[in-house]
C-alpha cells in the first residue's frame, strides 16, 4: 500500500490503531504472527566443500582428470599423481570467500536502530527494534535512527538525513499533514520516514506501516540476495578459451589415436600418446598464474588507494567502459560549503572547502578583511549565532554535528575569524523562535550586542525574509529597502539559484527589551536585510581531471544522484560530464519509459537526477544490456543493489556505509574519484599482462602439440613424454609467464580504447602470432629432434633430451619478446624487467638440473649433453625469437599505431 497517499485518519483506520494508547500486548502478538519480526533473513551460506566441488566444474580440469585416469590405467602412476596434485592445488587457489550478499545483510542489520521508543498499552516504552509491528506508535527525536518505515501523524520541525537511502545531500523537511494523489519519488515523500535514516532535527510521532523485508531498506536487502553472482569478463573469456582448447585437444587426441592404430602401433602406446597430447595442449600453470598475477595486482592497487576484495575484479576494472558514479561524497566533497556572498550591494567569492584554514573571502579577486567590513562582519555574526549546529574536532579534522547548512555558516565564520563559541559567550542567546517549515525562518534573541538592547538574528528562505525586511544595511548605514534594491537582491538570488546554489537570507532587528509574545507574527517584521549566502556541496577538484583521463581512455562517466535536476546539471557541467540539459533525465521521466526504451536513452544520457534505488538498478541493467562493462561507484545503502548488479562495484572507504563496502568488489580508501582512474589504469596493465602470458603459454602448448602430432604422422617415436611436458608446462614455462604478469605497463595504455566487452582474450592479431610462433617452436624442435635421431640413431633418450632442451631454451628466449605486443625488445630494454631475468635464469638452471642430476635423469628420462649438443640446441632456439620480433616490426606496430591515432583523434573531437 502507498501509505504516503493516505490521509492520517485513513492510515490510523487501516491499521486499527488507537493513537492515545497505541497497541496492546495481545494485538502485538497477533501481528507478529502475521508480519513476522522486524529484521532480515539470510540465505543459507554455501559450504566450503560445495565451493571446492564447484572448482572442478571446468572443461580443462575434467580433461586433466581424464588424463590422470588414463595414466593410472596404463601404469604411469607417477604421472597420474602429478596431474591430480595440479588439479587439487588449482581448485584450492580458486576457492574465494565471497559471501557479499550475506555480509551486506549483516551490515544492514547492524545499521538499523537496536531499540525504538513506542507507546503501548498507554505507556511510553523502549523495546528492541525487532519487536516492532505494523500499527506500532513510535516516538521520534533528534539523533534517533528510524527503526521501521513510519507514516508520520504529527511532527515539529522534523528533519531527516536520507542521504544513505536517496542520495539527497541535505536533511529533508517532514510534514505529517500532507498527502499525495499521484505517485511521488521516494525522496519527495514528506509524510513518511524510512528505516535506517537519521533524525537530525525536531521531533515527531508516527505509525509503523512496514517492517522487515517490506521496508524500503528491506526491499534492497531482498534484491541484493536475489541477484546471483555473474561471471566477470575475464572468467567468461577464460572459460571460452578452456572449452575451445578442450574441444581441440579431444579432436586431436582422437585423430592421432586413429592414425596410430592405422599405422599398426600398440593400443597402450597410443593411449600414452593421447595422454601426452592432452597434457601438452592444456596450460596447466595458467589458472595458478592468473590467480598470482591478480593477487599481485591487488597489492599494487592498495598502494594506489584501492582495496580489491575479489581477484577477478582487478581485470574487470581494466575492461570498464562506463563508470556510474553517485554524486554526493563521490564526485562532490559531501560538505556543504558557502561559495558566494551578497552584502553591501556587492557579490563576494569564498574560497576553500569547509574549515580549510586557507579559505578566503574575495572581492574582485582581492582578499577582504571581515573585521574592516562592517556588513560582512554582521553577516557572519548572524550566521554563527542563529545556528543550532556544533563543531567537534576529531583527529585534527572538524566534524559538523547538526544540520549541514548550519555547519556551512559556522565554517564561513572560521574563514572570517568569527567563531561561534566566542560569539555565544560574548552575546548569549536568551530566547529563540525555532525553524518551522511553514515559516521557513529561524530567529534567535541575544543580549550585549548593542548595550541595553536586545537584537534578533534571523536566517531563512530569501523570498520570505526579504518580504519581512523594511530596511537594508549597506556599508554600515541603514537605508530604506525600496523596490529597486529589493529587485537587485532578488536578481542576485535568482542568479545564485541558477548555479544550483542553496541560498539563505540573513537579517536582524533591534528591540528595547525581549518581546513578551514570541508567537506574534509581527516580531519577524520590519527587519534589516544584511545579505545572502549561496552554498553547495562542491565538486572534488581532482575528480574533474580523473573524468577527463577516463574520457581519454574511452570510458564514459555517468552521474547518478538524488538531487534536483538543476543542481545535478550544474555539478556535472563543472566536472565536464554533461554539456547541456538534454543529457539530464529525472527519475519521474524514467518511470514513464520501458526497459527497451531505456536501452536507447542511456546511450546519450550522462546525468540522472531524483532517482531511487530501483532506477539505479534499471540504469545499470540497461547499460549492461547494451554490452557495456559497468563500474558503479557509491557510498550509501541506496547504491548497494546497483553495486551488486554492476560488473564491478566501487565503494567509498571513509564515508561509505557498511552495506556499500560489503557489497562492492573495490573500496577506495581515500574516497577519491581520481583513485578510480588509477585503478582502471592498473586494471588495464594487469589485463594486458594476462594477454601476454596467455599468448606465451598457448604458443608454447600448441608448439608442443605440433611436435607430438607431426612425429606421429611421420611415424616417428614421440619426441616428448608426459612427465617432460608436465615439467615444461608447470615449471619451466610458469616462471617466465609469471614475470610477464609483472610487467610495469606501457606508457600509452590509457590512450588506447577499452577492449570490446565481448572481445576474446585472443584477438585476430594475437591468433596469427600464436600460429606463427607455434609453427616456429614446433619446426625448431622437430629439426633438432630429426638431427638428434640421425646423429644418435641408437639413443632415443638422447634425442628426446636434445629436443627437450631446445624447446625449453627457445621458450625462455621468446619470453623476452612476449613482454610487449607492440614494441620491439630493443625499445623496451632487455634488462628493464628484472623479474624476467630472475625467472628465465631459474628456469634454465632447473633445465640443467633435470639434465645433469642423476636422480632427476631417472625421473625425467634424460641424459647428459655435451658442448656440441648445446651448440645445436642454441642454434635452433634463437629462431622463434627472431620470427616474433620480425612479425611485430612488420605487422603489429603498423596496425596498432593507426588504430590508436584514429581513436585519439575521435576522442579529441568528442572533448571539443
Q: Which residues are identified as catalytic?
A: 326
Distance from C-alpha of 172 to C-alpha of 285, rounded to nearest angstrom:
57
Q: Residue 149 is placed in which grid cell?
A: 518505515
Torsion angle defined by CA atoms of residues 494, 472, 513 and 453, in that order, rounded to the nearest 10 degrees: 120
Residue 561: HSE in the Cβ half-sphere, 13 Å Cα cutoff: 27
Tell me which H or E stretch contains 160.
Answer: strand 149-161
Q: Residue 466 is placed in which grid cell?
A: 526579504
Task: Find, among 361, 355, 359, the residue nearest to 342 by Cα.
Answer: 361
Distance from C-alpha of 275 to C-alpha of 256, rounded to nearest angstrom:
11
- Cell 542520495, residue located: 167
Residue 809 Cα distances to 245, 315, 678, 812, 839, angstroms: 25, 31, 37, 5, 13
Task: Find, among 663, 906, 647, 616, the residue nearest to 758 by Cα.
Answer: 647
SS (H, E, C) 844-875: HHHHHHHHHCHHHHHHHCCCCCCHHHHHHHHH
Contact 270, 252 (CB under 8 A): no
Paired strand residues for 634: 651
Task: Count other C-beta atoms under 10 Å from residue 182's C-beta.
Answer: 6
CA 40 to chain centre: 25
Residue 764's contacts (CB-CB under 8 Å, 6 or more residues apart) are none
Distance from C-alpha of 689 to C-alpha of 57, rounded to nearest angstrom:
26
Q: Residue 428 is placed in which grid cell?
A: 548569549
The CA angle 626-235-281, to the nearest 5 degrees, is 130
Could you give the 3-state DSSP secondary structure of residue 404?
Answer: helix
Task: Count other C-beta atoms under 10 Å from residue 472's C-beta.
Answer: 25
Instruction: Please give the backbone phi and psi of residue 445, each rounded to the nearest 5 degrees, phi first.
Output: -115, 135
Residues in the chain: 912
Distance from C-alpha of 659 to C-alpha of 108, rounded to nearest angstrom:
6
Distance from C-alpha of 96 to C-alpha of 312, rounded to nearest angstrom:
10
**Start-to-end CA span in the chain (Å):** 50
Paired strand residues for 207: 137, 151
Contact 783, 710 (CB under 8 A): no
Distance from C-alpha of 819 to C-alpha of 777, rounded to nearest angstrom:
18
Distance from C-alpha of 87 to C-alpha of 74, rounded to nearest angstrom:
20
Distance from C-alpha of 569 to C-alpha of 556, rounded to nearest angstrom:
16
Angle of helix 267-281 relative to helix 674-713, nearest 10 degrees, comes to 160
Task: Count other C-beta atoms under 10 Å from residue 896's C-beta.
Answer: 16
Angle of helix 216-226 relative to helix 613-625, nearest 10 degrees, comes to 30
The CA angle 210-213-218, to the nearest 5 degrees, is 95
Strand 630-634 and strand 322-326: the pairing is parallel
Instruction: Please give the backbone phi and psi of residue 693, each rounded to the nearest 5 degrees, phi first.
Output: -80, -20
Amino acid at each position: 500500500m502507498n501509505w504516503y497517499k493516505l490521509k492520517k485518519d485513513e492510515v490510523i483506520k487501516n491499521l486499527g490503531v488507537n493513537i492515545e494508547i497505541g497497541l496492546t500486548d495481545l494485538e502485538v502478538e497477533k501481528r507478529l504472527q502475521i508480519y513476522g519480526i522486524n529484521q532480515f533473513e539470510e540465505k543459507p551460506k554455501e559450504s566450503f566443500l560445495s565451493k571446492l566441488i564447484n572448482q572442478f566444474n571446468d572443461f580443462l580440469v575434467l580433461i586433466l582428470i581424464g588424463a590422470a585416469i588414463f595414466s593410472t590405467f596404463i601404469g604411469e602412476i607417477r604421472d597420474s599423481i602429478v596431474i591430480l596434485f595440479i588439479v587439487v592445488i588449482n581448485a584450492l587457489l580458486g576457492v574465494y570467500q565471497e559471501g557479499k550478499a550475506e555480509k551486506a545483510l549483516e551490515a544492514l542489520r547492524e545499521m538499523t536502530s537496536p531499540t525504538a521508543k513506542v507507546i503501548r498499552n498507554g505507556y511510553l516504552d523502549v523495546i528492541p527494534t525487532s519487536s516492532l509491528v505494523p500499527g506500532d506508535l513510535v516516538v521520534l527525536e533528534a539523533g534517533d535512527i528510524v527503526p521501521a518505515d513510519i507514516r508520520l501523524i504529527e511532527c515539529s520541525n522534523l528533519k531527516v538525513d536520507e542521504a544513505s537511502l536517496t542520495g539527497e545531500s541535505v536533511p529533508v523537511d517532514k510534514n505529517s499533514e500532507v498527502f499525495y494523489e499521484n505517485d511521488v519519488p521516494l525522496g519527495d515523500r514528506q509524510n513518511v520516514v524510512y528505516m535506517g535514516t537519521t533524525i537530525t532535527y525536531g521531533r515527531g510521532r508516527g505509525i509503523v506501516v512496514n517492517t522487515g523485508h517490506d521496508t524500503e531498506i528491506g526491499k534492497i536487502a531482498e534484491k541484493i540476495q536475489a541477484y546471483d553472482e555473474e561471471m566477470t569478463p575475464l572468467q567468461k573469456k577464460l572459460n571460452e578459451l578452456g572449452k575451445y582448447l578442450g574441444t581441440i585437444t579431444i579432436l586431436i587426441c582422437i585423430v592421432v589415436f586413429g592414425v596410430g592404430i592405422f599405422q599398426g602401433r600398440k593400443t597402450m602406446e597410443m593411449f600414452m600418446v593421447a595422454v601426452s597430447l592432452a597434457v601438452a595442449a592444456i596450460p596447466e600453470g595458467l589458472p595458478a598464474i592468473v590467480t598470482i598475477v591478480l593477487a599481485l595486482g591487488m597489492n599494487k592497487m592498495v598502494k594506489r588507494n584501492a582495496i580489491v576484495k575479489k581477484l577477478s575484479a582487478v581485470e574487470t576494472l581494466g575492461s570498464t567502459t562506463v563508470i556510474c558514479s553517485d554524486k554526493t561524497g563521490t564526485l562532490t566533497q559531501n560538505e556543504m560549503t558557502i561559495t558566494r556572498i551578497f552584502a553591501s550591494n556587492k557579490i563576494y567569492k569564498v574560497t576553500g572547502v569547509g574549515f580549510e584554514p586557507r579559505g578566503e573571502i574575495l572581492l574582485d579577486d582581492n582578499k577582504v578583511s571581515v573585521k574592516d567590513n562592517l556588513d560582512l562582519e554582521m553577516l557572519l555574526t548572524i550566521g554563527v549565532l542563529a545556528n543550532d549546529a556544533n563543531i567537534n574536532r576529531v583527529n585534527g579534522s572538524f566534524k559538523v554535528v547538526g544540520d549541514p547548512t548550519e555547519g556551512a555558516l559556522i565554517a564561513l565564520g572560521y574563514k572570517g575569524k568569527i567563531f561561534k563559541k566566542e560569539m555565544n559567550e560574548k552575546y548569549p542567546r536568551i530566547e529563540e523562535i525555532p525553524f518551522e517549515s511553514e515559516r521557513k525562518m529561524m530567529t534567535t534573541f541575544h543580549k550585549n550586542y548593542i548595550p541595553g538592547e536586545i537584537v534578533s538574528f534571523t536566517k531563512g528562505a530569501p523570498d520570505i525574509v526579504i518580504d519581512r525586511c523594511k530596511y537594508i544595511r549597506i556599508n554600515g548605514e541603514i537605508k530604506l529597502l525600496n523596490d529597486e534594491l529589493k529587485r537587485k537582491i532578488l536578481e542576485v538570488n535568482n542568479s545564485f539559484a541558477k548555479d544550483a546554489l542553496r541560498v539563505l537570507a540573513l537579517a536582524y532587528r533591534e528591540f528595547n527589551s525581549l518581546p513578551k509574545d514570541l508567537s506574534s507574527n509581527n516580531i519577524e517584521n520590519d527587519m534589516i536585510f544584511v545579505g545572502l549566502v549561496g552554498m553547495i556541496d562542491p565538486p572534488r577538484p581532482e575528480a574533474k581531471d580523473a573524468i577527463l583521463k577516463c574520457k581519454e581512455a574511452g570510458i564514459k562517466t555517468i552521474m547518478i544522484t538524488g538531487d534536483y535536476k538543476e543542481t545535478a546539471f550544474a555539478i556535472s557541467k563543472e566536472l565536464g560530464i554533461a554539456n547541456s540539459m538534454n543529457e539530464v533525465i529525472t527519475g519521474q521521466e524514467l518511470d514513464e519509459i520501458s526497459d527497451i526504451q531505456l536501452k536507447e536513452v542511456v546511450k546519450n544520457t550522462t546525468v540522472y537526477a531524483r532517482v531511487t534505488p530501483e532506477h539505479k538498478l534499471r540504469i545499470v541493467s540497461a547499460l549492461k544490456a547494451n554490452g557495456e562493462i559497468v563500474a558503479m561507484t557509491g557510498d550509501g545503502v541506496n547504491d548497494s543493489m546497483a553495486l551488486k548488479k554492476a560488473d564491478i562495484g566501487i565503494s567509498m572507504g571513509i564515508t561509505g556505509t557498511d552495506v556499500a563496502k560489503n557489497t562492492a568488489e573495490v573500496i577506495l580508501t581515500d574516497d577519491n574519484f581520481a583513485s578510480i582512474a588509477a585503478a582502471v589504469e592498473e586494471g588495464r596493465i594487469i589485463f594486458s599482462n594476462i594477454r601476454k602470458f596467455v599468448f606465451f603459454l598457448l604458443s608454447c602448448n600448441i608448439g608442443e602439440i605440433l611436435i607430438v602430432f607431426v612425429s606421429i604422422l611421420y611415424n616417428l617415436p614421440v619426441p616428448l613424454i608426459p612427465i617432460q611436458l608436465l615439467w615444461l608446462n608447470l615449471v619451466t614455462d610458469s616462471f617466465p609467464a609469471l614475470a610477464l604478469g609483472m610487467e610495469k605497463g606501457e606508457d600509452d595504455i590509457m590512450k588506447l580504447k577499452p577492449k570490446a566487452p565481448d572481445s576474446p582474450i585472443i584477438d585476430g592479431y594475437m591468433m596469427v602470432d600464436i600460429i606463427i610462433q607455434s609453427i616456429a617452436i614446433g619446426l625448431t624442435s622437430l629439426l633438432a629432434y630429426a638431427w638428434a635421431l640421425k646423429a644418435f640413431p641408437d639413443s632415443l633418450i638422447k634425442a628426446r633430451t636434445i629436443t627437450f632442451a631446445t624447446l625449453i631454451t627457445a621458450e625462455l628466449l621468446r619470453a623476452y619478446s612476449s613482454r610487449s605486443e607492440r614494441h620491439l625488445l630493443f625499445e623496451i630494454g632487455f634488462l628493464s624487467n628484472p623479474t624476467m631475468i630472475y625467472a628465465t635464469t631459474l628456469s634454465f638452471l632447473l633445465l640443467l638440473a633435470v639434465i645433469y642430476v642423476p636422480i632427476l635423469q631417472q625421473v625425467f628420462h634424460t641424459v647428459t649433453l655435451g658442448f656440441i649438443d648445446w651448440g645445436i640446441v642454441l642454434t635452433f632456439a634463437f629462431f622463434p625469437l627472431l620470427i616474433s620480433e620480425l612479425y611485430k616490426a612488420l605487422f603489429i606496430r603498423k596496425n596498432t599505431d593507426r588504430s590508436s591515432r584514429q581513436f585519439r583523434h575521435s576522442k579529441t573531437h568528442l572533448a571539443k
